Amino acid sequence: MHHSQEFSSSSMRSVAPWLDGDANDRLSLGTTVSCIVERELDVHEHLFLEGERQTHVYLVLSGLIGIYKLLADGRRQISTFAYPGDMIGLDCTDTHVDSGEALSGSRVRCIPVNAIEKLIMNEPGFGQTLLRIAANELADTRERMLSLGRQSATEKLATFLVKVARRNAGIGLDRDTVHIPMKRCEIADFLGLTIETVSRNFTRLKLAGVIRLKSNSQVELVDFERLEAIAKGDMPAHLN
Amino acid sequence: MHHSQEFSSSSMRSVAPWLDGDANDRLSLGTTVSCIVERELDVHEHLFLEGERQTHVYLVLSGLIGIYKLLADGRRQISTFAYPGDMIGLDCTDTHVDSGEALSGSRVRCIPVNAIEKLIMNEPGFGQTLLRIAANELADTRERMLSLGRQSATEKLATFLVKVARRNAGIGLDRDTVHIPMKRCEIADFLGLTIETVSRNFTRLKLAGVIRLKSNSQVELVDFERLEAIAKGDMPAHLN
DNA sequence: CGTTCTCTTGAGATCCCTCAACACCTGTGG
DNA sequence: CCACAGGTGTTGAGGGATCTCAAGAGAACG
């Protein structure tokens, strides 16, 4: 039985602080209709597809959503994983530029885009909050580009693990005991690698004594400092 | 003598339409002080460095600015090229998350961040324009991630050329006669490749009859359709 | 206790990188 | 006008990291 990570308003971390606590109230404050529904998603069920008109913004309540783009022949790049507490689609363009798929059973709250638009109009400071979120997302994305374009497989994986660990620490969990809710295949599509390379580098880090694999989805960071060093590229490849 | 691509207010395309025409007026409308200066940059001169406090937002008037991040050992990833008319740093975080360097002699207009903040407060719709810009940038960045993580060298280069051509078409220039203002080294750091690989793939596309190299910085797209097909990955690698 | 899905491991192929030489261009100065 | 130097781009040869293909090992589930 795994730690379910249900999103709650009292969560220490929140990408969407302005939705904390009284989310429904504040949204119905902006719109007379309170057409905010929750939606349950099975594994591999899609929340939206690239090219579809964007009708909603989503708040992940539980589970994990993968945001990705495809090449014509099926090659996939996952741009981000949306965890409970994360918002999806705040960068409102009218059509979706990528697809969103549940990577495990998930629950999301669906907020119509016009509700967001009204909030921007009526709630002072709301627009700026959105801007700040977008800015953070952009900063994050650029770090990902550096990783995708310039890091080795081992460095990419180390970077990924460090990021998950930091997220853990941020929400009050143990930094060094990380639960990986996604499959190897999804990690591969996130890092721009193949599943085999991901797997090989897990064992590589394991043999180097940097991590320990309790199970496929449960990783213990034995030497966080060294993992960070590898992620930063400070560590020559052959010493890993 | 190359086509200088000076940015003018009457430009057909503009990432920053709200700065068209009477930019200074509207900004001094927001702030009593009109402390907007222009700055001249030599090649390789930096506009800002990663980690510095962000004091200004910049509008590129002429030249070309490269926005990049570094790994500890000097590996570089250029996240974007800012052309005349492009804004830099609209995603205001308080410190710069990347560095900006002039890739050729350039001129920029410097706008203090507090002027932007005041504009957000006072100009209705300004914040939303910023949001739209950020959303577009995010969409663009995610397409880049797909390219960095999942495309072959040839596909990356084709994608790059198609994007430059589309930009040309958008500002009223000939789509198929593209001027490449950056060096091979910078294209390499943009695409996550080495200069040699970039060079080899230029000649590869040339031999395939898709492009013609008039000079190092002047490329003629002989077969735009095929270039697009290669960029999309429709074309098996061995047929290039 | 199979069946299925996922992960790991191995062997060989491939793409890209590294290192090195050479070609080209431009400006400078004899 | 030519020689030279420095910056930039191209090309080649070899090596290495990652991918592909294939088999086997574990885990999850009925």
- Which tens digit of pLDDT belongs to each residue from B217-229? 999 999 999 999 9
Q: What is the pLDDT of residue A34?
A: 54
Distance in angstroms (rounded) separating the CA atoms of residues B172 and B195:
30
A-B C-beta contacts closer than 8 Å: 125
SS3 letters across A77-136: EEEEEECCCCEECCCCCCECCCEEEECCCEEEEEEEHHHHHHHHHHCCCHHHHHHHHHHH
pLDDT at position A18 over 70: no
Lowest-confidence segment of A64-68, A142-146, B113-117, B205-209 by average pLDDT:
B113-117
Per-residue pLDDT at A33: 45
Q: What is the pLDDT of residue B97?
A: 96
Instruction: Identify nearest nucleotide to residue B194 by CA to C1′ distance.
Output: C17
Residues of B in contact with A232 (CB under 8 A): 71-72
pLDDT mean over A31-36: 54
Closest-approach nucleotide to residue B206, Cα vs C1':
D10
Residue % of chain B over a pLDDT of 70: 83
Q: What tokens appear for A119 in the block?
A: 């909030």
pLDDT (0 to 100) of residue A8:
56
- Per residue in B76-90, pLDDT tens? 999 999 999 999 998
* Nearest C-alpha in B relative to A234: B72
Predicted local distance difference test score (pLDDT) of residue A123: 81
| B146 part of contact set with chain A, CB < 8 Å | yes
A122 vs B96: which has the higher pLDDT: B96
Q: Cβ of residue B213 near strand D, that is under 7 Å?
A: yes
pLDDT of residue A236: 62
Q: What is the pLDDT of residue B188?
A: 98
Least confident window among A173-177, B18-22, B214-218: B18-22
The CA distances from residue A48 to A65, A97, A113, B136, in Å, are 11, 10, 14, 19
Residue B70 has pLDDT above 80, yes or no: yes
- The pLDDT-based confidence of A237 (bands split at 50, 70, 90) is low
CA–CA distance, A102 with A184 (Å, rounded to integer) = 15
Q: What residues of A are in contact with residue B134 (Cβ under 8 Å)?
A: 91, 131, 134-135, 138
Average pLDDT over residues B135-148: 96
Q: Compare B70 and B23 and report the one with higher pLDDT.
A: B70
Q: Over chain B, what is the mean pLDDT?
A: 87
Q: Distance, angstroms, CA B157 to C1' C20?
A: 25
Least confident of A63-67, B6-10, B175-179: B6-10
Look at the block and give the residue holding tokens 């602080």. Answer: A17
Which one, of B178, B182, B183, lies nearest residue B222 by Cα? Answer: B178
Using the predicted structure, report yes or no on whether residue A221 has a pLDDT greater than 90: yes
A77 reaches B (C-beta below 8 A): yes
Bridge partners of residue B82, in order along the sequence: B65
Is B152 (CB) below 7 Å from strand D? no
Query: pLDDT at position B93, please?
Result: 85
pLDDT classification of B29: cutoffs 50, 70, 90: very low
pLDDT attached to residue A127:
84
Encode pLDDT of A51-88 as tens digits.
999 999 999 999 999 999 999 999 999 999 999 999 99
**Closest C-alpha to B186, from B96, B95, B81, B37:** B81
User: Is strand D less than 7 A from the beta carbon of B202?
Assistant: yes
d(CA B193, CA B198): 7
Q: Is the pLDDT of residue B37 over 50?
A: yes
What pLDDT score does A23 carry?
42
Task: Kindly state the percentage of chain A with pLDDT values over 70.
Answer: 83
- Residue A152 CB in 7 A reach of strand D: yes
Percent of all residues in chain B with a pLDDT value above 90, rounded to a whole number: 71
pLDDT in tens, A171-202: 999 999 999 999 999 999 999 999 999 999 99
Q: Which nucleotides of C are covered by protein (CB under 7 A)?
A: 6-11, 15-20
Residue range A205-212: mean pLDDT, rounded: 96
Kindly report which listed range (A21-30, A210-219, B107-116) carries the lowest average pLDDT score. Answer: A21-30
